[in-house]
Structure 1
Amino acid sequence: MTLPKPTGPYHVSFTDILDKDGIDGTFFRIYYPTAEYSYEDADAQFPMWMEEEYLKLLKGYMKELTMFPLSIPVNLPFMVPEGEAKLPIVVFSHGLMLSKDAYTFVCSDVASYGFIVAAVDHKDGSSAGSFYMEKSTDSVTGFVKKSFEHHFIQSGTEEARLERLERVEIRVKELSKVADFLGNLNDGTLSNIFYPDFDLMRFKGKLNLEKMAVMGHSLGGASALVSLLKDDRIKVAITQDPWMYAFDDKYLTRKIAKPIVIINCIGDIKKNDVIKMRQFDCDVTGTVAERLMVTILGTTHFTQTDFAYFSDSFLESLNFKAKNDAELSNKINTELILASLRKHLGLPGLTEITSILEKNKGDVMIGTDIDVSDAEIMEAKKKIMDLIQTK
């Protein structure tokens, strides 16, 4: 198997960036437009979907997990699409027990419409696994890989919840560091020990740092919301099935005068999650900014990940199998993401959300499929309003 090719007008390549050796190095992947290529192109290398460091944990849960080559190549030259001076940016945060690699399709798909997408490998212990580099005189490259393993937090206690919230703060700092590094990439000062021969100078002056969004899935969705609040460079948050357990209630009293777009799937989102999402509504803090919640029907929590494209038998064995076809659901997902990015970053080619909903009637809905009453939402909102009044 392999993942579908990106659907946009531009071909996409990627490179992995590690700023320095040691455990505190920041590891992230950038997806970007490139010139046209083919599988027969001698310069195009198509690496495997995940590296071994990520698979160790996942294979313990997914016995039938198989590797496959990606449908996009690594390290082809960056190309600014014709008519574009600088490209807008999306910083992406992965979910619990996954990694940047598990979102290859959504990240490359967005990049194929003329975006730079930077997906971070979090080192708060939430990833399936990762690695860093240490200097070594015994290696040809001068570095050796060192594994960074998943840190389990057993949910169910207040101590566990507080630890999770602390680790989200680590994730948010990592997202901010990636935004810093994109600034370095734009001014030609970013170093990369992972692919030292790849020419990063092609990116110099080509990133639009004024048009930056944050996006994330599940735990990454909660991380994206906190990042929106804390980082002034971020103009909009697009969250996919956000895990609201990992969002600290203290932030609900803050005015977030920036748009929040929530794209939910079916299954993992519960009533309490929806209620907390609605506590972001602008009438709670008197903020003026868009709040949008939509739900893609016939899906599961993993529809917005690469796992959606695995075999039916694999998906059924893990209860990941969705009612609707993955390509249909992710086409809607990308359309919603692009419409939100273009609207809130002030980009051309805007498509109204209402037209996406109308075109895909029966497969996507405004709001939620969860049975939650207006009275329950108003009661939850009032609690936050009361907290604000006591400050």
Structure 2
Amino acid sequence: MKKGITVRRDKKLRINDRKHIPMPTGPFQVIGCRDLMTGASKFTGVLLRLYYPAANQARDMREYYLMWPNWLPHENYRSAYAEVSKYNNSVYKALNWAIGDGFIPCIPNAKPLRDDHKWPVIVFSHGIGACRTTYSALCIEFASHGFVVAAIEHRDASACCTFYAKEVHLSMYGSNARLSQSEYNLNDMRDDDEFEDSNANRTKKTLAKTFLPQVTVEWIPHSHIKVDESHYSIGNKQVYQRVRECSRTLDLLESLNAGYEIQNLLDQLLDPSEFEGILDLERVSLCGHSIGAATVLLALSSELRFKVGICLDAWLFPVKKENFDCLSQPVIFINTEKFHSKQNLRKIREIANPSFLKCSNAQDTISNRNKERSSDETPERKVYTLKGSLHYNITDVPFLMSWTARKLCGTDSSMDRFTALDLATSLALDFICSNLNIPLSSDNEVYLNLHRKRIKSGINVRNSSLKFNGRSHLPLPTGPYKVVASKDILFEEPSGKGVLLRLFYPSACQSSEITEFYNEWPNWVPHENYVKGIAKIFNINSYWIHNALKWLLSQTYVPSVPDSKPLRQADYKWPLIIFSHGWGGCRTMYSTICIELASNGFLVAALEHRDNSACCTFSLSKVNQSEVDKEKNNKVASLETNSIEWIDHSPFRRTIDLYEAMNEKVKNRVDECSRVLNLFEAINAGRRILDYQLYSVSDNMKINRIVDLSEFENILDMEKVIVMGHSFGGATATLALTEDSRFKIGVILDAWMYPIKDESFDDLQKPILFVNMESFQTEESLSKMRNIVNSNFNPNQSGLTNSNMKIFTLRGTSHLNQCDIPFVTNWLARKVFLRKSKIDRFVAHDLTMCLSLDFIFKQLNLGKPLSTLSTDSYFALHQGKLRDELCSKL
């Protein structure tokens, strides 16, 4: 029965006295199967089972139930499954009882259906401890939709057990010939990297059980391989042997399709004309589960006859060191929820996003991004996860065990076993048919739409650990430039109008991991005076609470390399982002956001404003000229601590002239942003800056003069400057867009619009994005944002809204979700400071960054962000947490 419109499938697993795996649901209900084995050696030929639409489709498959083959091809497989699972004798007997009577609803050796078109082909590679019948439910489902499926039984010792022909006694050329591998010198055909387990224990029980009178069979037991670095080469050899078997399978299918006579050692009565001319070998897909998915990827890289790859719950440890840059075919990953490690998912992510590369020369990343933007030939890559599913859901095991047995063996998933199978096959069929131009019933799409909430699109795994080697830290960056550097810069003009900032940028050390530098990471708190300022902002007057806060904040570090050289690209310059902090913030308060931006290929200048809005800041006392002259020749001369003038935070007071005071502060802040831009224009152009004007600030407030900034010369794209800010800084960034034409794009995070409520933005013709937190914004503030967008809305642009101006609100969020407070405080402190937040702190941060990066990349024509957090899939995953404030207003 079709599972589409009615959304019902036959869930009966017994007919009369026969227990069986699920019936197929496609239009071809009668399925045939045939076992093929070629070659008189372990290292030649192939063993497989073919599944295909059978000739007589007019009858019901159930009418043939007495002909259905046993799920276990031979008694040896029963004991082999027990050995693979490492069950003791009593459990083995229970397993023997549990799956002994399973049958596959297909007709052995049935003639294939000859239709007016050729059947596309799927070659299937099994997982560890499986065999050619372990995935029969999946294979007959594919066959019922018009495919010929070749399920291989690999001889690399990864199968639960298998066999090969040691000697063959056949009638050839009119005489009785005795064929052996010695006569054909088949040992010479073995490759150096063929896997053979010399320690395999072939029991007498196994050796005694033969079933082919014309063949002397040698059984290959399963070899247990440990998952560690010392055994990587063994697993890698196994995969390479599997790849050759996949190629030999395709060779065999080509021979069948050409009508050539093949020597099928399992059935000498095979008529070579049965499959002649019915296989569409221009539409061949390769599908695999677990290590079989690793086989798929490696085979696609070396065998162009395979057009599409289907990776079911891929286990990529055996190919983790392989390079898949040359993989040119479309690939889909269909994962279960409970199986994958972070290392495995990272490898999947690298393959699914070909531009996401960990490379020593990050120029490759930029080149790939530009190629991807300019080429329409990028192969399709998709990743889906079935929520509540297990690794075994792809196999027949859940259908052969009772509920009790599934619970005891850990094979019972929270997702219905039938739904898991149907979703996996539906996703695979949809991908294959769309890429090979094969018609597919609309029922398949209806079924996927019905269960879309059970499917998680994309792969979004971030490292949520906030501690490394005992050191607490902010979230690690997810962009392609994993090693981010930072430098504190103090610029003092003779007029007294200087700026203080922290610069975040991609480090030149991209061949390393950021965690390798953990001993160098700067403290999140630049000085203990900043803790006093934060305590003042939150009205913490208790001595004990203040000391606890001081200890807590001083234990957190920023994952960046201080004063590292910036990464210099040959033909690419970094866009510049100037970040304005909110009320009570400072240059380190938004380090998580700034690091994430830098890891995606930006230089980020995080300002520390001197308008008394920062929790704390400082400037230098006036140094007389004679002191300057004395120290000009000393390139690293340190200033004394007493030359610092601290600027305390000024508490917020609601007075009659509040608006005028705040508006003046915003304008002063905008002036600071422009001065920062002047500074970087000079640095980028290589213009000399007087020695006494530039200083670096290290931990413990050690201030040194900066003489040489040539490492930053000519690495900035000053035509791509973004202004960004949070809260009060959001108002600053909004006004800066109108005041300084050099700012091209504005990204406004939960802006406090009151200080600019009377400002006019009628002439603002620049892209601007507002990302708001739900608990903070008022209707008055939102109205101001909408007015800014409405007054500059371009009706000639397509769509309901102006694509250059957007307003989003993150549901269930608090104002502080966009700063570092959620990551530097413990659970109890978060309950106090973020009591209105109902969203996970990582999700709030990641959604903010996905929205920001997606907007910036589109406006600057940079293609797609290369972060491990795929923006499209992350939006799809968390679409219920986003509200578009313009969709019903324009």
For the residues of structure 1 that align with 2:505 and 2:678, how far apart are their CA atoms? Answer: 18
Residue 30 of structure 1 aligns to a residue whose secondary structure is strand
Q: Deviations over 1:179-229 (max 9, x none)?
A: 111111202234622243585211100100000110000000000000011
Q: Residue 270 of structure 1 is aligned with which of 766, 771, 778?
A: 778
Q: CA deviation at 1:39?
A: 4.7
Residue 158 of structure 1 aligns to a residue whose secondary structure is coil
In the alignment, residue 126 of structure 1 is paired with which amino acid?
S
In the alignment, residue 618 of structure 2 is paired with which amino acid?
F
For the residues of structure 2 that align with 1:248 and 1:49, how far apart are their CA atoms? Answer: 34
1:123 aligns to 2:610 (yes or no): yes
Q: Deviations over 1:4-27 (max 9, x none)?
A: 111111110110111127753211
Which residue number in structure 1 is paired with residue 879 of structure 2? 361
1:27 aligns to 2:535 (yes or no): no
Which residue number in structure 2 is paired with residue 141 of structure 1? 638
C-alpha spacing 1:227/1:323, structure 2 compared with 1 (3 Å): same
For the residues of structure 2 that align with 1:200 and 1:105, how far apart are their CA atoms? Answer: 25
Q: Deviations over 1:323-369 (max 9, x none)?
A: 22111221111111111111112223269987653332222222289
Q: CA deviation at 1:283?
A: 4.5
In the alignment, residue 485 of structure 2 is paired with which amino acid?
S
1:45 aligns to 2:510 (yes or no): no
Residue 279 of structure 1 aligns to a residue whose secondary structure is helix
Q: Deviations over 1:31-68 (max 9, x none)?
A: 000013555559x6222112223222212335342212
For the residues of structure 1 that align with 2:795 and 2:666, how far apart are their CA atoms? Answer: 25
Which residue number in structure 2 is paired with residue 387 of structure 1? none
Q: Residue 213 of structure 1 is aligned with which of 716, 719, 722?
A: 722
The aligned runs of 1:161-200 (5 Å cut-off) are 161-188=659-686, 189-190=688-689, 192-194=694-696, 195-196=704-705, 199-200=708-709
- Indicate the larger mover: 145-154 or 236-245: 145-154
1:75 aligns to 2:563 (yes or no): yes
Q: Deviations over 1:63-82 (max 9, x none)?
A: 342212222221111113x5
1:154 aligns to 2:663 (yes or no): no
- Indicate the larger mover: 231-240 or 82-91: 82-91
Q: CA deviation at 1:159?
A: 0.4
In the alignment, residue 5 of structure 1 is paired with which amino acid?
L
Q: Deviations over 1:296-321 (max 9, x none)?
A: 22321001000021212011123456
Q: Which runs of 5+ in 2 are unaligned?
A: 1-471, 632-636, 697-703, 797-801
For the 8 Å contact 2:490–2:500, the answer to whether it is kept is: yes
Residue 362 of structure 1 aligns to a residue whose secondary structure is helix
For the 8 Å contact 2:517–2:561, the answer to whether it is kept is: no
- Indicate the larger mover: 309-318 or 256-265: 309-318
Q: Residue 821 of structure 2 is aligned with which of 288, 307, 311?
A: 307
Which residue number in structure 1 is paired with residue 589 of structure 2? 102
C-alpha spacing 1:365/1:202, structure 2 compared with 1 (3 Å): same
- Amino-acid identity (%): 27
Residue 213 of structure 1 aligns to a residue whose secondary structure is strand
For the residues of structure 2 that align with 1:117 and 1:201, how far apart are their CA atoms? Answer: 18
- Indicate the larger mover: 357-366 or 254-263: 357-366
In the alignment, residue 230 of structure 1 is paired with which amino acid?
E
Which residue number in structure 2 is paired with residue 7 of structure 1? 478
Residue 31 of structure 1 aligns to a residue whose secondary structure is strand
Residue 280 of structure 1 aligns to a residue whose secondary structure is helix
Q: Tell me which of the two structures has the higher relative contact order, counting C-alpha pairs closer than 8 angstroms and 6 or more residues apart.
A: 1
C-alpha spacing 1:340/1:332, structure 2 compared with 1 (3 Å): same
For the residues of structure 2 that align with 1:21 and 1:93, how far apart are their CA atoms? Answer: 20
Residue 760 of structure 2 aligns to a residue whose secondary structure is helix
In the alignment, residue 7 of structure 1 is paired with which amino acid?
T
For the residues of structure 1 that align with 2:620 and 2:528, how far apart are their CA atoms? Answer: 15
Which residue number in structure 1 is paired with residue 807 of structure 2? 293
- Indicate the larger mover: 330-339 or 316-325: 316-325
For the residues of structure 2 that align with 1:282 and 1:350, how far apart are their CA atoms? Answer: 28
In the alignment, residue 670 of structure 2 is paired with which amino acid?
V
Q: Which runs of 5+ in 1 are unaligned?
A: 379-391
Residue 292 of structure 1 aligns to a residue whose secondary structure is strand
Residue 79 of structure 1 aligns to a residue whose secondary structure is coil
For the residues of structure 2 that align with 1:123 and 1:279, how far apart are their CA atoms? Answer: 30
Residue 251 of structure 1 aligns to a residue whose secondary structure is coil
In the alignment, residue 334 of structure 1 is paired with which amino acid?
M
For the residues of structure 2 that align with 1:84 and 1:306, how far apart are their CA atoms? Answer: 34
The aligned runs of 1:203-242 (5 Å cut-off) are 203-242=712-751
- Indicate the larger mover: 124-133 or 32-41: 32-41
For the residues of structure 1 that align with 2:732 and 2:534, how far apart are their CA atoms? Answer: 22
1:243 aligns to 2:740 (yes or no): no
For the residues of structure 2 that align with 1:240 and 1:119, how far apart are their CA atoms? Answer: 14
Q: CA deviation at 1:268?
A: 1.0
Q: Which has the larger radius of gyration?
A: 2
Which residue number in structure 1 is paired with residue 307 of structure 2? none
1:56 aligns to 2:532 (yes or no): yes
1:342 aligns to 2:837 (yes or no): no
In the alignment, residue 694 of structure 2 is paired with which amino acid?
N
In the alignment, residue 479 of structure 2 is paired with which amino acid?
G
For the 8 Å contact 1:47–1:70, the answer to whether it is kept is: yes
For the 8 Å contact 2:865–2:871, the answer to whether it is kept is: no
C-alpha spacing 1:199/1:330, structure 2 compared with 1 (3 Å): farther
For the 8 Å contact 1:14–1:30, the answer to whether it is kept is: yes
CA RMSD of aligned residues (A): 2.8
In the alignment, residue 763 of structure 2 is paired with which amino acid?
K
Q: CA deviation at 1:261?
A: 0.4
Q: Deviations over 1:155-179 (max 9, x none)?
A: 2x33011111111000000011111
For the 8 Å contact 2:757–2:784, the answer to whether it is kept is: no
Which residue number in structure 2 is paired with residue 331 of structure 1? 846
For the residues of structure 1 that align with 2:722 and 2:601, how far apart are their CA atoms? Answer: 14
The aligned runs of 1:367-378 (5 Å cut-off) are 367=885
For the residues of structure 1 that align with 2:617 and 2:749, how far apart are their CA atoms? Answer: 23
For the residues of structure 2 that align with 1:257 and 1:8, how far apart are their CA atoms? Answer: 30
- Indicate the larger mover: 105-114 or 55-64: 55-64
Q: Deviations over 1:117-144 (max 9, x none)?
A: 111111111111101122387x971342
For the residues of structure 1 that align with 2:514 and 2:604, how far apart are their CA atoms? Answer: 22
For the residues of structure 2 that align with 1:84 and 1:322, how far apart are their CA atoms? Answer: 44
For the residues of structure 1 that align with 2:675 and 2:493, how far apart are their CA atoms? Answer: 16
Equivalent residue pairs, number? 367
Residue 28 of structure 1 aligns to a residue whose secondary structure is strand
C-alpha spacing 1:201/1:83, structure 2 compared with 1 (3 Å): closer
For the 8 Å contact 2:748–2:771, the answer to whether it is kept is: yes
In the alignment, residue 121 of structure 1 is paired with which amino acid?
E
